[in-house]
Amino acid sequence: MAEEILIETQDRVGVITLNRPKQLNALNLELMKQLVAALEAFDTDDNLRVIVLAGGERAFAAGADINDMADSNVVEQVKRNQFARWERIRRISKPIVAAVSGHCLGGGCELMMHCDIIIASETAQFGQPEINLGVMPGAGGTQRLTRATGKATAMDVILTGRTLSAAEALAAGLVSRVVPKEHFFSEAMKVARTIAQKAPLAVRFAKESVLKAHETALSEGLEYERKLFYLLFATQDQREGMKAFIEKRKPNFTGE
Ligand code: DAK
């Protein structure tokens, strides 16, 4: 079977690289299957703390594979239940850092928006061009893009099919950092390694809590954050982190 993704680990970081360069990493069904399996395997691996999801230089991903959908119909789409797979990506508890260069379109942009921190090359182009195919975003694009950029930009991108440059995406709040094109992967690794040194439970709860901000009213989100904050005072890493600060040394976080 073709390897639609490549997997490696570096220190405490699990790296997944989308591997259909000739098709600009179009997300076919097999790739999605392999991707979800790899993400879940990394998520349950106690040796790893952060995941990096990378595309290639020319494309992070140019969308779902149109060949998989061209002859499809509503019944088949419902039965295929692709959403279940995307839902599993949403449930990954470790932080995912996306390394994005080139085309990042349609399902590719939606996949990127499932990630937690996005490092973009200055060459990256973002868009939801489904409208040009007679459909609309199907994996959260209308919701996540709107929450990230606000209604005006989201409407413009989704209804006209136009792309945002990396600079526009940064200004709109869609990506975290824009770097020169030769550094998009190394910068993502740098960010991942930094997070990998933090207390794992604090990182996990902090990710969970930030995601809540997207999904709930403020009062409910604050309540949720408060409970997770209290919970961290039941960990050894909280004691270690604060003690290390007072003793002017680096903390030794164990994840306990
Ligand atoms: N699907 C299949 N093949 C693709 C592709 C795609 N999305 N994008 C590119 N390719 C293929 C091209 O067909 C071409 O293949 P060959 O002809 O060489 O065999 C190869 O990649 C190189 O592409 P180009 O020759 O077109 O390269 P250019 O530099 O000229 O143009 C481009 C690059 C990115 C502007 C162009 O390829 C393009 O417009 N691509 C399509 C972009 C697009 O419309 N993306 C949205 C697809 S719809 C769902 C979840 C998600 C979705 C739906 C449902 N569920 C959970 C149910 C998402 C839907 C979508 O993403």
pLDDT of residue 215: 84
Residue 33's contacts (CB-CB under 8 Å, 6 or more residues apart) are: 85
pLDDT of residue 2: 82
Tell me, in angstroms, the distance from the centre of ligand 1 to residue 106's CA. 9
Closest atom of ligand 1 relative to the 83 alpha carbon? 56
pLDDT of residue 1: 64
Question: Can you name the residues that pair with 175 across neighbouring β-strands?
Answer: none
pLDDT of residue 79: 87
> From CA 15, how far away is CA 38, in angstroms rounded?
9
> From CA 87, how far away is CA 110, in angstroms rounded?
12
CA-nearest residue for atom 17, ligand 1, is: 23
- State phi, psi for 196 to the nearest 5 degrees: -65, -20
Closest atom of ligand 1 relative to the 23 alpha carbon? 21
> Is 65 a pocket residue for ligand 1 (Cβ < 6 Å)?
yes
pLDDT of residue 80: 86
> Is 86 a pocket residue for ligand 1 (Cβ < 6 Å)?
yes
> Is 67 a pocket residue for ligand 1 (Cβ < 6 Å)?
yes
Tens-digit pLDDT string for the chain (256 aa): 689 999 999 999 999 999 999 999 999 999 999 999 999 999 999 999 999 999 999 999 999 999 999 999 888 888 888 899 999 999 999 999 999 999 999 999 999 999 999 999 999 999 999 999 999 999 999 999 999 999 999 999 999 999 999 999 999 999 999 999 999 999 999 999 999 999 999 999 999 999 999 888 888 888 988 999 989 999 999 999 999 999 999 999 999 9
Site to substitute for ligand 1 among 4, 22, 24, most atoms within 8 A of C-beta: 24
pLDDT of residue 60: 98
Closest residue by Cα to residue 251 from 197, 172, 182, 210 = 197
> From CA 103, how far away is CA 14, in angstroms rounded?
23
Tell me, in angstroms, the distance from the centre of ligand 1 to residue 86's CA. 19
> From CA 42, how far away is CA 100, in angstroms rounded?
20
